[in-house]
């Protein structure tokens, strides 16, 4: 589907990953709430347990609670959308509150928030009674276009991101674009870095049309936002259709995440996820060029889309190569291949839309000295920007 021909009234898709299927809807405007009640009524839940981002505007939480309460008793639990709160401690607190509220196997956990809250709520739903139903109501563009298009649910360990988790599918994803109206433009720009990743790693044929639509101010109409979400559904389902647990072809979705996750962790989440992934892709592109896999034009194509999006192309002050490399060594992609001393496991490209597959695997084991060059390049770029 072309970005330019996305439907104007919303979006209705069926997401399919392996044997898993769930409905995915995008709406905006006042009639969206009626659509919500219609779809949630079909769940025949005895209770809704809403895990809401503590930073959401009060009216968003109140209206969601009001609408769901028309269908079944509803309780709202709060979780901070902060990487430091994405932990087993938070999960234990929420589980106790949910159980004391009267949650049963017929109940539904509703994730109301962005990717962090979605992961916390998703893992909560997966663990209570060994798995109850989950519905995503994402309130950020990153949630709508990326994190809910996955079966992965996880929290962080003290050593790194997403070390503790499992796979648990939602039964429904319901996106209300009006939720995005109160968000800063940087939230949209951050989310679109993940869309840019999809273009670079999976659907490079969409490069020119995306480049024509991106705006450095991060302001878009609902129709354009819907078209961006539609593109992400296309890209993610294309690689996850036969790889729902993201261990083979869908590892392309991890492009840029190795260095990106390290930067996100070391800044305690102050560096927005998408921005971290964007800079992580630049580091990966430099590593690929050092290995002779990408040429300068492909590397420049990465930077061009990020700049058109108004996203950073350098890491923030205070991050150092040794610290980043230390976290990269503990990345959660370790173990797909036997460990090799002095190397790091990365997802790399050998051309736009062409993941490098040495020996048939999507993981490339790269000497630490070369990974250091990639990290230094985004630190050096920062120095260039400051001196300019």
What amino acid positions are annotated as catalytic residues? Answer: 152, 254
Query: How many C-beta atoms surround the C-beta of residue 377 within 10 A?
Result: 20
User: Given phi > 0 = left and psi -120 to 50 = alpha, else beta, which region is 18?
Assistant: left
Distance of CA 282 to the CA centre of its chain: 18
127 beta partners: none
For residue 80, give both structure tokens: 């901070």
Burial 231-255 (b: 16+ CB within 10 A, else e): bbbbbbbebbeebbebeebbbbbbb
């Amino acid at each position: 589907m072309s970005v330019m021909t996305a439907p104007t009234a919303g979006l209705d898709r069926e997401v399919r990953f392996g044997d898993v299927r769930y409905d995915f809807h995008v709406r905006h405007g006042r009639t969206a709430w009626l659509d919500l009640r219609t779809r949630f009524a079909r769940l025949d839940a005895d209770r809704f347990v809403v895990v809401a981002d503590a930073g959401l505007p009060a009216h968003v939480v109140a209206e969601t609670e009001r609408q769901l309460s028309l269908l079944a008793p509803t309780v709202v639990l709060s979780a901070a959308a902060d990487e430091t709160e994405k932990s087993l401690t938070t999960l234990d607190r929420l589980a106790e509150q949910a159980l004391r509220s009267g949650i049963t196997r017929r109940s539904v956990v509703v994730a109301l928030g962005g990717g962090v809250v979605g992961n916390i709520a998703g893992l909560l739903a997966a663990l209570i009674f060994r798995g109850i139903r989950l519905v995503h109501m994402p309130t950020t563009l990153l949630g709508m276009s990326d994190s809910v298009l996955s079966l992965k649910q996880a929290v962080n360990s003290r050593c790194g991101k997403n070390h503790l988790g499992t796979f648990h599918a939602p039964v429904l994803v319901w996106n209300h674009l009006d939720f995005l109206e109160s968000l800063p433009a940087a939230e949209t720009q951050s989310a679109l870095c993940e869309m840019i990743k999809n273009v670079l790693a999976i659907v490079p044929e969409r490069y020119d049309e995306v480049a024509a639509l991106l705006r450095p101010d991060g302001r878009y109409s609902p129709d354009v936002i819907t078209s961006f979400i539609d593109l992400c559904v296309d890209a993610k389902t294309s690689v996850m259709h036969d790889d729902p647990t993201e261990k083979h072809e869908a590892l392309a979705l991890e492009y840029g995440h190795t260095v990106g996750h390290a930067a996100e962790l070391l800044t305690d989440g102050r560096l927005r996820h998408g921005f971290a992934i964007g800079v992580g892709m630049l580091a990966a592109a430099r590593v690929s060029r050092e290995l002779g896999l990408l040429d300068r034009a492909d590397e420049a194509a990465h930077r061009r889309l990020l700049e058109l999006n108004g996203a950073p192309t350098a890491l923030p002050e205070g991050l150092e190569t040794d610290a980043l490399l230390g976290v990269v060594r503990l990345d959660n992609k370790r173990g797909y291949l036997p460990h090799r001393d002095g190397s790091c496991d990365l997802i790399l490209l050998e051309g736009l839309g062409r993941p490098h597959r040495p020996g048939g695997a999507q993981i490339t084991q790269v000497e630490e000295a070369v990974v250091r060059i990639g990290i230094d390049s985004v630190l050096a770029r920062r120095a260039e920007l400051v001196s300019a």
